[in-house]
Each structure stands twice: as C-alpha cells, then as structure tokens.
Amino acid sequence: MKKVKFQQHGDLRGQLVAIEEEIDIPFKVKRVYFMYDTVSGVRRGYHAHKNLKQILFCVHGSCKVLLDDGLIKETVLLDKPYEGLYIENDIWREMFDFSEDAVLMVLASEHYNELDYIRDYDEFLKYKGL
C-alpha cells in the first residue's frame, strides 16, 4: 500500500488532476467505479482480492481505509482529491468514517469478478499462509 500524491494543475480557474495509466499508475485501468451517498456510520469492504490492484481516491469529502496484510493493520485517511491510495492484491480492506459528501472513486486493474474476492477473514489468513 502506498499513498501517492498526483500533480495538481492549478490556475486562476481552479484545480485539475490528470492520471495516465502505466505512467502515473502501474497498471492498465480496466474498470472505474465510485461510491457516494454512503450512509452515516457504515463500514464497507471486508474483503481482500486475489489478483486485483486498485487506486482509491476520495475525490470529494473524506473517508478512512483500514488495510491489513494479515500481520499489520494500518488506517489511512483519504481527504484530498489529488491523493491516491494504491492497494495491491492480498490486502484486506475496510472503508469507514465516510463524510456525508464523500465520493470514493476507484481505478481497478481488472474487470469485476466475484471469484477474485476473499470475503471471509479466516479464509484470507489461510490464503496468506498465516
């Protein structure tokens, strides 16, 4: 996991951030999805991915992401539209503390595939050999 700061192209009109696949991010983007109108107090995620790599951006508002590799847990705050959180495969994630106005946008390396999800924590630890 790493937080990546993207360049802001600001001028008197405001800000613009550009993201180019295989240049700014280390994979081809096969899918984009975003979540909004997240209900207060809700926690999402609770899974890991076998192959999928993603970059998460809170393009509006804020939220927190818990990342867990099976040994170390880390919580990251996303509250800047120009900061992305790169999450490799094999990492358990939970998203929480969404602000009312939060828009969480995700760039993903693969098409949607339910078979890529590990949704049970014990199964995740087993998959990691822990």
Binding site for ligand T46 (CB under 6 A): 31, 33, 35, 44-45, 54, 56, 93, 95, 106, 112
Nearer to ligand T46, 25 or 54 (CB): 54
Nearer to ligand T46, 15 or 68 (CB): 68
Least spacing, CB of residue 61 vs ligand T46, in Å: 15
Nearer to ligand T46, 15 or 51 (CB): 51
Q: Give CA–CA dist 83/77, Å, rounded.
A: 10
- Report the 10 Å Cβ neighbour count for 80: 16
Instruction: Indicate if 47 belongs to the active site.
Output: yes
- Report the 10 Å Cβ neighbour count for 122: 8
- Report the 10 Å Cβ neighbour count for 5: 10
Single out the residue of 18, 3, 26 nearest to residue 78, CA to CA.
3
Least spacing, CB of residue 25 vs ligand T46, in Å: 15
Active site members: 47
